[in-house]
């Protein structure tokens, strides 16, 4: 069927050769290269071309397909140039209206031609009409489609018709033979091949509701496959790990750990005490810890990291603490220097911007063991860095690290072990993340991870009051900033940064910075953005952390982990452009002290429905778990591509909240399969995870 505005014949075959590869390139960019990738690219929704509706029965607002003979077709010029055709099916007539059209449209819609048209029916001035319907000429009695028509998520350069063809043929070729023994798959679910066939081309009697809410057996099979592969790779990794040895690490009486605990400026919360004890218990064992420490933003993970590092140091081993951004790493460094240098601990700082002699000196301090605690970005695990005795690696905001960096970390940990051939000892690993999933789910999902959860915020925190303002109320917000500054508080103003329009956004941040400088003559207003040299960034950040600078205008480089307790107001400009998790992270930068804090979300109308829902969700709730849940709900399948690319999505098809029973089943089957059918297990992991299996281990 023709896709308006360009009729089908021209897609894709008759494109000039130079442009013919545009859709192919788009496929590549979307990661749809192998037949399997295409087969797993599922429809967003379906269109029903399996039946015809009598024009007399078509109601306003219905999306449907009709067939009739063109009784009249003409180009009208008022109110603007448009093609108007009328069709008649014997029961009634319907207008097809095109504001954009090609000569080919006119040719097809000639009087006397029988056409099928599909679109939304609405009441027009001259009776019912379809605006820009999809249509094609047909012979009398031409067969109807025998399956629902898939509509795929796509991008502008990749026409739906091209994608449909590519997927339909890939589906025939894709290697989808059954890998699992009978009995492994939950009863009543189709084979993977049948499941995918059904999801791409559902029969006319399939329940659209079950396809959309993913309860259809075909969906269940797909989810089970994915969960099983994930569980297999986790169980496999856990088994491999069981053979490894690590140095048992314990605090010394009167040592760093004890003295740090006393020197801390606050008492640990019960949750912090509990997770610190869980970590300490792991470290004391002669096998490598592999633990995820999760806790909402501001729950106080850093101090748990510091106490764990102190244990390693007490035991005579080195600790590496790695953070995803230079600003965050630097902040950890400052804080830990404050806590640990008085206790006589040697520290080293490694980052991408520290080069040449300074870097060489640091590397030397790491290699000699003089630096007991090494803090930095992923520069910490570069090839030229060799630890004398690495006992513990801590990775902050672990989910922010890319695949390559996680792999590099694994290599580094392995290399540490390999270096001492006599008694290979692998370092312990502690990962920290603020992206929480409920604890019980986390424990069954991360079969290869032990999970500690900080489920309580430090006392005295007041929830951040979140307000939604249209950007026509900017001046009011600026006045509010002046108040806050007058009371000795500090303010963040965050501007969005979007890859394609970096230049524009930079202008945006620079402009806001200038405005605020003008509006707040007595205050120091700083500007921070991703393209500044690291030294300049650090200088600005240190003025802000030190309290000399009252207002910080920034692109989202401050997003993760930055901790300035005196900041009490956060303004987020173009809040509608941010994702929910990101908004939660950003808002988490305020409300870290005892004073009441406010987060103002400025938005530009009009808002899309999902943007509206996101903003509503962030105003309504402060709980990171709840926000993660709402995020999944709102994002739905439409945005999964973006999510997949950013690495945020844990799973592509299954949903941990809905699919807990399938997860439990996959967990059991995974353990059995590894014992009884190791080859099938390997094939399953390879099919679903390919090269990613390695990455999922860390
Ligand atoms: P996150 O879990 O987001 O990494 P941080 O470790 O940055 O949180 O801690 C947030 C703030 O709370 C910091 O200023 C930290 O010093 C403070 N903090 C941590 N634990 C406590 C506590 N038990 N009592 C009071 N303040 C605390
Ligand atoms: Mg943190």
Confidence of residue 647 (pLDDT cuts 50, 70, 90): very low
Domain that holds residue 525: 465-621
If you take atom 17 of ligand 1, which residue's CA is the nearest one?
300
Indicate whether 535 and 590 sit together in one domain. yes
Confidence of residue 403 (pLDDT cuts 50, 70, 90): low
What is the DSSP secondary-structure string of 288-323? --EEEEEE-TTS-HHHHHHHHHHHHHHTT-EEEEE-
Q: Please state the rounded mean pLDDT for residues 493-514.
A: 72
> Quick one: which of 110, 72, 69, 111 has its CA closest to 91?
69
Q: Please state the rounded mean pLDDT for residues 123-130.
A: 84
Which helix (DSSP H) or strand (DSSP E) does residue 98 occupy? strand 93-98
Evaluate whether residue 521 is within a structural domain.
Answer: yes
> Quick one: which of 625, 637, 682, 645 has its CA closest to 222?
637
Model pLDDT, residue 650: 61
| Residue 592 in contact with ligand 1 by CB distance below 6 A | yes
Indicate whether 384 and 477 sit together in one domain. no
Which helix (DSSP H) or strand (DSSP E) does residue 558 occupy? none
Angle at 287 between CA 281 and CA 288, to 5 degrees: 85
Q: Picking from 44-48, 84-88, 546-550, which range would have the lowest pLDDT averaged per residue? A: 44-48
Report whether pLDDT(180) > 70.
Answer: yes
> Quick one: which of 255, 250, 388, 366 has its CA closest to 308?
250
CA dihedral (508, 509, 510, 513) in degrees, to 10, reads: 120
Report whether pLDDT(688) > 80.
Answer: yes
Which helix (DSSP H) or strand (DSSP E) does residue 620 occupy? helix 609-620
pLDDT tens for residues 315-360?
999 999 999 888 788 888 888 998 999 999 999 999 887 788 888 9
**Burial class, 335, CB count within 10 angstroms (exposed 0-12 / middle 13-18 / buried 19+):** middle
Structure tokens at 220: 């269940």
**372 touches 313 (CB < 8 A):** yes
Q: Say how far residue 307 (Cα) sits from the centre of its chain.
A: 30
Structure tokens at 608: 């899309």
If you take atom 9 of ligand 1, which residue's CA is the nearest one?
300
Indicate whether 187 and 305 sit together in one domain. no
Evaluate whether residue 333 is within a structural domain.
Answer: yes
| Residue 295 in contact with ligand 1 by CB distance below 6 A | yes
Domain boundary among 92, 119, 144: 144
| Residue 351 in contact with ligand 1 by CB distance below 6 A | no
| Residue 478 in contact with ligand 1 by CB distance below 6 A | no
Mutate to test the pocket of ligand 1, among 292, 302, 430 (most ligand atoms within 8 A of CB): 302
Identify which ligand lies nearest to the alpha carbon of 456: 1
Model pLDDT, residue 64: 87
| Distance from residue 233's CA to the centre of ligand 1 (Å) | 34
Q: Picking from 307-321, 536-550, 586-600, 647-661, which range would have the lowest pLDDT averaged per residue? A: 647-661
Report d(CA 565, CA 589) in Å as an integer.
8
| Residue 433 in contact with ligand 1 by CB distance below 6 A | no
Measure Cα distances from 396 to 279, 432, 550 in Å.
Answer: 15, 5, 27
**654 touches 663 (CB < 8 A):** yes
Q: Please state the rounded mean pLDDT for residues 95-114.
A: 91
Evaluate whether residue 248 is within a structural domain.
Answer: no
**Residue whose structure tokens are 């695990």:** 381
| Residue 585 in contact with ligand 1 by CB distance below 6 A | no
| Residue 269 in contact with ligand 1 by CB distance below 6 A | yes
Measure Cα distances from 78 to 81, 110, 133, 346, 488 in Å.
Answer: 6, 21, 20, 81, 63
Q: Please state the rounded mean pLDDT for residues 530-558.
A: 85
Indicate whether 117 and 154 sit together in one domain. no
Report d(CA 64, CA 58) in Å as an integer.
8
Indicate whether 284 and 207 sit together in one domain. no
| Residue 331 in contact with ligand 1 by CB distance below 6 A | no
Evaluate whether residue 674 is within a structural domain.
Answer: no
Identify which ligand lies nearest to the alpha carbon of 585: 1
Indicate whether 513 and 571 sit together in one domain. yes
Evaluate whether residue 109 is within a structural domain.
Answer: yes
Terminal CA-CA length for the chain:
47
Report whether pLDDT(3) > 90.
Answer: no
Report d(CA 525, CA 516) in Å as an integer.
7
| Residue 563 in contact with ligand 1 by CB distance below 6 A | yes
pLDDT tens for residues 129-157?
999 998 999 999 999 988 899 999 888 78
* Mean per-residue pLDDT over the chain, rounded: 85
Neighbours of 520 (CB within 10 A): 18
pLDDT tens for residues 267-280?
999 999 999 999 99
Which CATH number fits the domain that encloses residue 108? 2.40.50.140
Identify which ligand lies nearest to the alpha carbon of 300: 1
Indicate whether 398 and 326 sit together in one domain. yes
Evaluate whether residue 239 is within a structural domain.
Answer: no
| Distance from residue 548's CA to the centre of ligand 1 (Å) | 22
Model pLDDT, residue 47: 86
Domain boundary among 454, 489, 520: 454
| Residue 453 in contact with ligand 1 by CB distance below 6 A | no
pTM for the model: 0.72
Which helix (DSSP H) or strand (DSSP E) does residue 470 occupy? strand 465-470
Label residue 214 left, alpha or beta by phi (over 0 means left) and psi (-120 to 50 means alpha).
left
Indicate whether 138 and 166 sit together in one domain. no
Indicate whether 477 and 556 sit together in one domain. yes
CA dihedral (70, 71, 75, 76) in degrees, to 10, reads: -130
Indicate whether 297 and 157 sit together in one domain. no
Identify which ligand lies nearest to the alpha carbon of 334: 1
Report d(CA 667, CA 469) in Å as an integer.
47
Indicate whether 528 and 575 sit together in one domain. yes
| Residue 561 in contact with ligand 1 by CB distance below 6 A | yes
Please list all protein residues whose beta carbon sits less than 5 angstroms from ligand 2, which is an ion.
Answer: 561
Model pLDDT, residue 417: 62
Q: Where are the beta strands (DSSP E) in 379-442?
A: 390-395, 428-433
Domain boundary among 394, 424, 454: 454
Identify which ligand lies nearest to the alpha carbon of 459: 1
Indicate whether 434 and 565 sit together in one domain. no
If you take atom 16 of ligand 1, which residue's CA is the nearest one?
300
Identify which ligand lies nearest to the alpha carbon of 457: 1
Evaluate whether residue 235 is within a structural domain.
Answer: no
| Distance from residue 548's CA to the centre of ligand 2 (Å) | 23
| Residue 593 in contact with ligand 1 by CB distance below 6 A | no
Which CATH number fits the domain that encloses residue 321? 3.40.50.300
| Residue 297 in contact with ligand 1 by CB distance below 6 A | yes
Evaluate whether residue 173 is within a structural domain.
Answer: yes
If you take atom 15 of ligand 1, which residue's CA is the nearest one?
300
Position in ligand 1 atom list of the atom nearest CA 268: 23
Q: Picking from 18-32, 174-188, 523-537, 650-664, which range would have the lowest pLDDT averaged per residue? A: 18-32
Domain count, the chain: 4
Position in ligand 1 atom list of the atom nearest CA 267: 23
| Distance from residue 120's CA to the centre of ligand 2 (Å) | 50
Q: Please state the rounded mean pLDDT for residues 55-84.
A: 89
- Look at residue 375 and give its three-state secondary structure: strand
Between 217-241 and 678-689, two packed helices, what is the crossing angle to 10 degrees? 110
Mutate to test the pocket of ligand 1, among 261, 271, 300, 327 (most ligand atoms within 8 A of CB): 300
> Quick one: which of 298, 307, 418 has its CA closest to 373?
307
**688 touches 234 (CB < 8 A):** no
């Amino acid at each position: 069927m023709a896709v308006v505005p360009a009729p089908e014949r021209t897609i894709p075959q008759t494109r000039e050769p130079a442009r013919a590869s545009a859709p192919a390139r788009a496929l590549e960019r979307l990661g749809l290269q192998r037949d399997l990738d295409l087969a797993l690219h599922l429809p967003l929704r379906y269109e029903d071309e399996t039946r015809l509706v009598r024009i007399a029965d078509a109601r306003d607002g219905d999306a449907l397909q009709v067939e009739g003979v063109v009784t009249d077709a003409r180009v009208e010029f008022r109110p603007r140039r448009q093609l108007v055709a009328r069709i008649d099916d014997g029961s009634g007539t319907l207008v097809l209206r095109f504001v954009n059209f090609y000569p080919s449209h006119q040719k097809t819609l000639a009087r006397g031609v029988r056409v099928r048209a599909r679109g939304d029916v609405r009441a027009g001035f001259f009776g019912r009409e379809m605006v820009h319907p999809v249509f094609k000429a047909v012979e009398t009695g031409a067969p109807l489609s025998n399956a629902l028509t898939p509509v795929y998520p796509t991008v502008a350069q990749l026409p739906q018709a091209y994608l449909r063809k590519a997927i339909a043929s890939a589906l025939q070729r894709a290697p989808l033979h059954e890998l699992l023994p009978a009995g492994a798959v939950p009863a009543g679910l189709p084979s993977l091949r049948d499941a995918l066939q059904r999801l791409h081309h559902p029969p006319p009697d399939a329940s659209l509701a079950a396809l959309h809410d993913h309860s259809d057996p075909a969906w269940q099979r797909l989810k089970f496959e994915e969960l099983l592969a994930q569980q297999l790779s986790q169980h496999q990794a856990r088994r491999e790990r069981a053979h490894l040895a690590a140095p048992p690490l314990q605090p010394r009486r009167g040592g760093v750990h004890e003295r740090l605990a006393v020197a801390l400026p606050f008492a640990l919360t019960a949750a912090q005490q509990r997770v610190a004890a869980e970590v300490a218990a792991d470290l004391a064992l002669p096998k490598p810890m592999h633990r995820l420490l999760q806790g909402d933003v501001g729950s106080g993970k850093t101090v748990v990291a510091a106490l764990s590092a102190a244990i390693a140091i007490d035991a005579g081993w080195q600790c590496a603490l790695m953070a995803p951004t230079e600003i965050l790493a630097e902040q950890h460094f400052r804080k830990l220097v404050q806590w640990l240098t008085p206790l006589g601990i040697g520290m080293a700082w490694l980052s991408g911007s520290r080069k040449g002699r300074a870097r060489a000196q640091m590397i030397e301090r790491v290699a000699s063991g003089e630096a007991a605690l090494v803090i930095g970005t992923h520069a910490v695990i570069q090839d030229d860095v060799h630890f004398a005795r690495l006992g513990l690696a801590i990775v902050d905001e672990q989910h922010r690290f890319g695949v390559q960096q996680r792999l590099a970390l694994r290599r580094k940990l392995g290399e540490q072990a390999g270096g001492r051939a006599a008694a290979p000892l692998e370092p312990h690993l502690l990962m920290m993340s603020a992206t929480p999933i409920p604890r019980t789910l986390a424990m069954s999902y991360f079969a290869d991870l032990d999970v500690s959860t900080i489920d309580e915020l430090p006392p005295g925190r007041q929830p951040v009051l979140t307000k939604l303002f249209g950007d026509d109320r900017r001046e009011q917000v600026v006045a509010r900033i002046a108040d806050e500054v007058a009371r000795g508080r500090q303010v963040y103003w965050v501007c969005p940064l979007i890859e394609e329009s970096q230049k524009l956004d930079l202008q945006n941040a620079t402009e806001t910075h200038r405005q605020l400088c003008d509006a707040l003559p007595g205050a120091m207003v700083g500007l921070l953005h991703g393209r500044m040299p690291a030294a300049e960034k650090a200088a600005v950040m240190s003025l802000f952390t030190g309290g000399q600078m009252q207002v910080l205008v920034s692109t989202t480089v401050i997003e993760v982990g930055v901790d300035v307790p005196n900041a009490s107001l956060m303004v987020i400009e173009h809040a509608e452009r941010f994702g929910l998790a990101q908004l939660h992270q950003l808002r988490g930068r305020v409300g870290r002290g005892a004073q009441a804090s406010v987060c103002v979300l400025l938005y530009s109308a009009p808002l899309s429905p999902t943007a509206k829902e996101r903003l509503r969700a962030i105003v309504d709730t402060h709980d990171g778990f709840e926000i993660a849940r709402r995020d999944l709900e709102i994002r739905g399948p439409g945005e999964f591509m973006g999510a997949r690319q950013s690495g945020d999505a844990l799973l592509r098809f299954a949903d941990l909240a809905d699919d807990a029973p399938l997860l439990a089943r996959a967990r059991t089957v995974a353990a059995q399969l590894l014992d009884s059918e190791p080859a099938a297990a390997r094939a399953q992991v390879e099919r679903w995870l390919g090269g990613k299996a390695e990455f999922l281990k860390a």
